[in-house]
Chain A
Amino acid sequence: MFSLKQNCWFIKKVVIWRAVASIAWSVLLLPVTTAVFVLLSRFSLFHPIQWISECTSLLTASTTIFTLVVLCGVVLMIGFFNLEFYTLVPSIRCSRMSLLGTVLHPRQCVHSLVYCTMGMLVMWCASVTIGGRYSTLGTPCRQSESGEFVTCLNEYHLFLLLAGAFMGYSHSFLGVVQNMYYVSFQPIQQYKYPRFKGSLPAVVKGSVIQSLYSARNFAALYFFFGYVPKTWIASTLNLQIDSSLQPLDSLTGLLDFSLLYHLAISGTFLYLTWYLTVLLFRIYVTEAYSFPVQSTFTEDSEQCLPKVLTEKNTSVMKFLALQDLALLSQHSLSRRREVFSLSQPGGHPHNWNAISKECLSLLSELTQRLVAHQDAVASNGRVKSQSASSDIRSASSSSSGTEDILETPRLSVPLRTPGSVFKSSVGGAHSALTAPFTPDVDSPFSSPAIRRLVGQQDPHSPWFGTVQSPHVMRRGPKLWSASTESQANGSPLASPATIPSPPAANQKPSFLTQWMQNRREQLPEASSQALFADSQAHIWALQGLSHLVAASFSEDQFGVVQTTLPSILSCLVVLLEAVDRHFKLPHASSKPARTICSMGDSTYKTLRFALRAALKTAIYKITTTFGEHLNAVNISSEHRKRLQQFLEFKE
């Protein structure tokens, strides 16, 4: 299942080591958090000296060392999961049904199970550390009728263990709902330590709040269903239930301040260790990487910026390369010179050509995506198959060459939507977790028609891991999966063909289907969000291009940028028109509610606004730099009219 054998040099040389460093730091932080936890868990207001001495002796005890080893194992596991599942492009579910499908997916179930186990492990460590009545599962007790000592079930220990399992599950669940594995980039560059220091308070606050929520929910759950695991464990392990003690699944048993305090503290400890691992991983992975613009040795040429930018499979490398491009275009004079330089024999501007071509293809791919979406909305689903297919053809990308027969001359080479960088097409073939809009055959909610259609589809087809218009998906006749029928007879982009009506239309709508149909139309903004899910790349491309073009005004000695300026300008204006039209659609310009204090990153929800602002700034950057000279650039008259607006600052 885990496919770490991706043979990209960047993964091997950089990402793995960054992940290892982040895990090492989280392991190093473990003793600190454990010490704080020990201090808080044994806190007694009236005996401060005894409290301190107890804690110091406990910290050096062998049991603490052992729990630290167990916690290290848990942190290693979490770090590995981060590395395996992280994504730079969030998977946005366009309806509640698809979300439900993802949560119930077997892969997600396995994930939850692992997290439950790890939660139990952490809670076991916590209960051992707290000691006292929490330390072991079995306690000696006196049987009431015979008076002899037997081993009884220690409900306090069980309570904490189950709380750990619950918190593990809710972490895994919220990871899907809040896109916990989505890694976003900060708008500013900071060194790792100040960044860690800056986000530490937010992480502590978030883990406290999350732990309080989880403790409340778990207490309620245990109150109603607590006897089930209790009797089951007792009967399996042949333990007695001590009837002399107050059972915890009663109101009086639960209203124990010390128990709730320890539950909240242990929960905070659990979430804090996990969140710190996530935070460190995010900080390390999003650290800027400086790619060389050109290399003197040919064997290093694949590590140079122009080559790296065209890479499609390793999205983390592509993102970091685009970020590096945006940074060098603003901050580094010497590297800009390399971009504008000519190749030594021949005198061709290979660097600039490759970079500008890649940026332009990214941007025009976004334009096509937007236009396709608008067509789909405008036609209100009537010719949706056609537009869907064009959307898919333009947006599809795959590493495999199997679809080459169907291939029309491609206008663009877009990014994939990766589940993780390591997701090869084998690993992610049937993963709803990673490819949100692909048909999910394994899911219990997929209709037979989908299964039939998907049955003939090979995992290398462009359907897997592609960015598709979620709108198309919404209009489709299937429950929540994309309109797969169009891919079977994928019509090329240039020739609009009539598509036969979907074969599933003759199915009788059952009550369940109708209920699901209702659920499907519930998240109006999501389609807009999903269209712009990977727009961070576009924003960097815009910044990089505009700053390079602006810098070329004074730095480009050979005039290499002049030749591409018309295409850059027209590409930007066309994209601006598409974006403007998109924002006139309903729901597109409504702002999402801000979420506070959660570890999940919600910056993807506002990426479309950021893209619009970056686009306008990019055009302004070029127009203010070139000024009246733009009149001499060979572009069409409508575009010139639009640029004139920018020259007069009327946008």
Chain B
Amino acid sequence: MDDGLGKGLWGMESVERPLMVIPGTLTVKARVQLRYSSVLYLPHRDMCSLSLFPAPVTAGLTLREHNNELVPGQPHTQWSDLPSPQFTRDSLKGHSRPESSSKSAFLDQRDTLWMRSAGAWRDAGLYGLLDEITCSADEVPRCLSVGSACLLALLRWASSFHGSLFPHLTLSRDEMVAEFSQMLDWSDGALRSFAWHPHTDKFAVALLDDSIKIYKSHSVTSPTLKHRCQRSVCALQWKPLCGSALAVACQSCLLIWHVEPTSLSTRPSSGCAQVLSHPGHSPITSLAWSPTGSLLVSASPVDTAMMVWDVAAESCVPLQRVGGGGVTYLSWSPDGSRLLAATPVWETRMWTCERWPCLKGSCQSACWSPDGGCLLLSIQGERLVYALTFSDLTGGPKAATVVADLSETSFPGPDGELTVGGEVCSLSWDPRGERLAVLLKGDSVADNHPSVIAVFKTRSVPVFELLPCGFVMGEAGAEPRFMQFHPHFQHGALLTVCWSDGRISHVPFYFSSAGLLGESQKQVLASNTTHAPANKLYTEIMS
């Protein structure tokens, strides 16, 4: 199995190869000898693979985990008061994209060349201006049109050269957003993005028609957010330590909505939104609030710099990194000390950056353990989950270990073989650090190879362990597109899944904590929930 893992991964000098075969027992001395890179990939001692999993139950929607088993059932027996809306493509498509069609309502009017050039400059920048001049060759002097045509060709050549180095730059904006979105099959589904509020039972869903809906438990009103700039929403995140602010990554800018939690309005005006933009920094595909809520980081695949925003002051600090094709994924560690920006990692004390040069391909998804000491990540196009451990003593990580192999495995089922496994699309770790959900991309051509969510039981103390738990299945024909754990579910973990049929469902995992919570984990939990811990700090005052 080791050999199967190794291909395409090692990517190192042959000198180092013998070291890597030693499973998990790399000594410090051996590590020092490796000069070329800071990250090694080692197969983990307890590596988990899909063949260890119980066979998926295709009978129906997975309802919950109970007594260590995933229980299927019928969807009408919904267990909780959390809203689980369903959106269909047809109901959303009607009023989308009015901009493209409104042109036909106006008569064609030829402006002067000057006006057209100014408009082209405003709309499409230098490219548009040159294009306009080249196109209206009969109105301008010949030398000007020829010169602009040459300049345009030169620019196109240069950009295509740049694009050949970083292929994603040649994509259109929508394609780029679809490529780097955490939502599987972003462009086709009715749901575009999803985010739980970190402290309350409230979530926001971005839909195909570029609107955002907010659902709360115990509430009938679900505000709809619409804004002129809110197009192609790629990511959503609520501001921690705040009741109202929601950051939205759009195609052209970053929007910060301030939705009053007590307001009964179903359609907050666009005056409630702050628009943050920076030239050259779009489309934005990823954003991350710092756990203290004071900073917001945004990233775009086009821009090599990521922006650190002081949202209230609407000012930003660009963190420039020369080379590379932009930042595609951001994730802040729960203790706020590190920020993963695929693929460099910044530490947030002095904002220095560690580079992991030998990662092949870009990072697709990642998640931090609740204490911020461990990072699981997956790489685009690969079927493996890597783990990196950080500690304050050694500084950055010295080795990445392969902790799970998720290549295709077949299970016998009632209607023939069912194949699961494949490329890792998204990773999610519950806030207690006990369940890990992995979204595996299926094969859209083969009918018995759907996308599935594999759930692992995890433990990080005393040693990091992954144990198989089961597969979360949807209704017949529905595939998972996106998933996120509820940030403070009291009886275990609660996984919210967005399905391909536009449904959002919640799958609870009931378990009692292993009792191995570290000090820091307790603290994180305490700060994440308003639920009172057992030890009372104050004696009650008689009132």
Contact = CB atoms under 8 A, between A and B. Distances in A.
Interface of A: 186-191, 194, 197-198, 330-331, 543, 547, 550, 553-554, 562, 591, 594, 603, 606-607, 609-614, 616-617, 620-621, 624-629, 632-634, 646-651
Given A617-B294, A624-B528, A187 B318 contact: no
Interface stretch (B79-87, B205-213, B237-245, B372-380): B237-245
B314 interface: yes
A198 B319 contact: yes
A629 B532 contact: yes
- Classify the interface of chain B: helix, strand, loop or mixed: loop
B305 to A, nearest CB: 8
B293 A651 contact: no
8 contacts: A616-B242, A617-B292, A628-B530, A649-B261, A650-B262, A651-B242, A651-B244, A651-B261
B319 to A, nearest CB: 7
Contacts of B529: 627
Nearest to B319: A198
B531 interface: yes
Given A550-B527, A613-B312, A629-B532, A650 B261 contact: yes
B523 A554 contact: yes
B311 A624 contact: no
A197 B254 CA distance: 25
A625 B526 contact: yes
B445 to A, nearest CB: 46
Contacts of A198: 317-320
A186 B309 CA distance: 11
A370 B268 CA distance: 29
B336 interface: yes
A191 B350 contact: yes
Contact of A651 (B197, B243, B519, B528): B243
B537 interface: yes
Contacts of B310: 187, 610
Contacts of A612: 312
Nearest to A594: B314
Contact of B541 (A624, A634, A646): A634
Interface in B226-273: 241-244, 261-262
B463 to A, nearest CB: 25
Contacts of A620: 241-243, 293
B109 interface: no
A325 to B, nearest CB: 15
A191 B352 contact: yes
A422 B526 CA distance: 47
A181 B278 CA distance: 26
B538 A562 contact: yes
Interface residues of B, number: 48
A628 B532 contact: yes
B527 A629 contact: no
A621 B241 contact: yes
Given A625-B526, A634-B541, A649-B243, A606 B293 contact: no
B540 interface: yes
B19 interface: no
A10 to B, nearest CB: 22
A187 B536 contact: no
A647 B530 contact: yes
Nearest to A602: B315
Interface string B285-299: 000000011110000
B107 interface: no
Nearest to B314: A606
Nearest to B529: A627
B519 A629 contact: no
Interface string B506-532: 000000000000010011001111111
A112 to B, nearest CB: 30
Given A543-B294, A629-B537, A624 B315 contact: no
A543 B262 CA distance: 26
Contacts of B1: none
Nearest to B199: A649
Given A330-B292, A627-B532, A553 B349 contact: no
B313 A603 contact: yes
Contacts of B241: 616-617, 620-621, 624
Nearest to B294: A617
Contact of A614 (B261, B312, B319, B320): B312
A562 B130 CA distance: 68
Given A562-B537, A649-B197, 12 more contacts: A187-B315, A188-B317, A198-B320, A553-B523, A554-B519, A554-B522, A613-B311, A614-B294, A624-B241, A627-B533, A628-B530, A628-B532
Contacts of B540: 632
Contact of A624 (B312, B530, B532): B530
A550 B242 CA distance: 16
A197 B353 CA distance: 14
A331 B350 CA distance: 11
A213 B306 CA distance: 31
Contacts of A188: 295, 308, 317, 348, 351
A625 B349 contact: no
A295 to B, nearest CB: 24
B394 interface: no
Contacts of B541: 632, 634
Given A620-B241, A629-B536, A610 B261 contact: no
Contacts of B88: none
Given A543-B294, A620-B242, A650-B262, A626 B351 contact: no
Name the residue among B261, B315, B528, B532 with the largest chain A CB count within 10 angstroms: B315
A188 B242 CA distance: 20
A599 to B, nearest CB: 15
A613 B349 CA distance: 21
A136 B200 CA distance: 75
B539 interface: yes
Nearest to A646: B243
A191 B318 CA distance: 14
Contact of A591 (B314, B336, B523): B314
Contacts of A651: 242-244, 261
